């Protein structure tokens, strides 16, 4: 596995089981393996409480939490701050804007989880987590990872789009083309044998550029 250059902590990769941990959060102690049972999990880090970009991002997660709920997905935040700092920030944002961060935020003051998940990238910052997003499926397998630097906020539409794309791909055994959003045509997986290729070439139920690039509509009902 890839390693950071600060310590030889392995970086989790797509397809790995999500490393288990116990942590203190704004909603009490959690153990990852017991958290979000039978659900998807979007776990994300932010560099620091009471900072501007982080406030916009966390507010984005809070404002759109119902869309994550609809996708059977729990949210779990993290930063290298104390739980007292998290509570103060949550309350401050609620007082100033009316937005309430109603999901657990890990107080990773000993950097244990940040290091375990490669969120501490020392050439970006030695003390603050980068903006990471881990998409973890109900079997606790890591399915997609995003890392953003400290100075660029993430895109909530893309986080939700990627989550829905993963779930749709699993459900219908298809792949998602460039810029796919729900309702768009999907990619039919390419044939793996000559027999499958010949069958594909005769299949007029799908939109085919050639045997390896074919799309179809999904029936969601
Ligand atoms: C921010 O969220 O605004 C921020 C946090 C840490 C470093 C730089 C920016």
Write the pLDDT tens digit of every residue in 72-90: 999 999 999 999 999 999 9
Neighbours of 181 (CB within 10 A): 11
- For residue 51 and ligand 1, the question of a CB distance below 6 A is answered with yes
Pocket probe for ligand 1: among 120, 150, 152, 154, the residue whose CB has the most ligand atoms within 8 Å is 150
Is 11:3 a contact under the CB 8 Å cutoff? yes
Tell me which residues are annotated as active site.
54
- For residue 53 and ligand 1, the question of a CB distance below 6 A is answered with yes
In this prediction the pTM is 0.94
The full set of domains in the chain, from first to last, is 5-171 (3.40.30.10), 173-216 (3.30.1020.10)
Please tell me the distance from the alpha carbon of residue 202 to that of residue 133, in angstroms, as a whole number: 42
- CA of 4 from ligand 1 middle (Å) equals 21
Q: Is 143 annotated as a binding residue?
A: no
Q: Which residues, 6+ apart, have CB-to-CB distance to 13 below 8 Å?
A: 1, 2, 142, 145
pLDDT by residue for the chain (221 residues), tens digit each? 444 445 556 899 999 999 999 999 999 999 999 999 999 999 999 999 999 999 999 999 999 999 999 999 999 999 999 999 999 999 999 999 999 999 999 999 999 999 999 999 999 999 999 999 999 999 999 999 999 999 999 999 999 999 999 999 999 999 999 999 999 999 999 999 999 999 999 988 899 999 999 999 999 88
Q: What CA–CA distances, in Å, run from 208 to 42, 138, 167, 200, 220? A: 35, 34, 24, 9, 21
Neighbours of 118 (CB within 10 A): 22
- CA of 136 from ligand 1 middle (Å) equals 25
- CA of 52 from ligand 1 middle (Å) equals 6
Please tell me the distance from the alpha carbon of residue 207 to that of residue 58, in angstroms, as a whole number: 41
- CA triple 128-130-135, angle to 5 deg: 130
pLDDT, position 142? 98
């Amino acid at each position: 596995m890839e390693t950071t250059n600060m310590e030889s902590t392995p970086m989790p990769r797509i397809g790995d089981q999500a490393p288990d941990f116990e942590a203190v959060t704004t909603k009490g102690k959690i153990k990852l393996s017991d958290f979000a049972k039978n659900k998807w999990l979007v776990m994300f880090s932010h560099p620091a409480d009471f900072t501007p970009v982080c406030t916009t991002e966390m507010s984005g997660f809070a404002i759109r939490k119902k869309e994550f709920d609809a996708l059977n997905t729990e949210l779990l935040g993290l930063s290298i701050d104390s739980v007292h700092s998290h509570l103060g920030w949550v309350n401050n944002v609620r007082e100033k804007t009316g937005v309430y961060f109603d999901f657990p935020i890990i107080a990773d003051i000993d950097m244990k989880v940040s290091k375990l998940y490669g969120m501490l990238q020392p050439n970006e910052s030695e003390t603050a987590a980068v903006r990471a997003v881990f998409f973890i499926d109900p079997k606790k397998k890591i399915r997609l990872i995003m890392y953003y630097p400290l100075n660029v906020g993430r895109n909530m539409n893309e986080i939700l789009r990627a989550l829905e794309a993963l779930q749709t791909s699993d459900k219908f055994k298809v792949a998602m083309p460039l810029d796919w959003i729900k309702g768009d045509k999907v990619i039919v997986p390419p044939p793996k044998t000559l027999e499958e290729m010949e069958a594909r070439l005769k299949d007029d139920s799908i939109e085919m550029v050639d045997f390896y690039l074919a799309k179809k509509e999904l029936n969601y009902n």
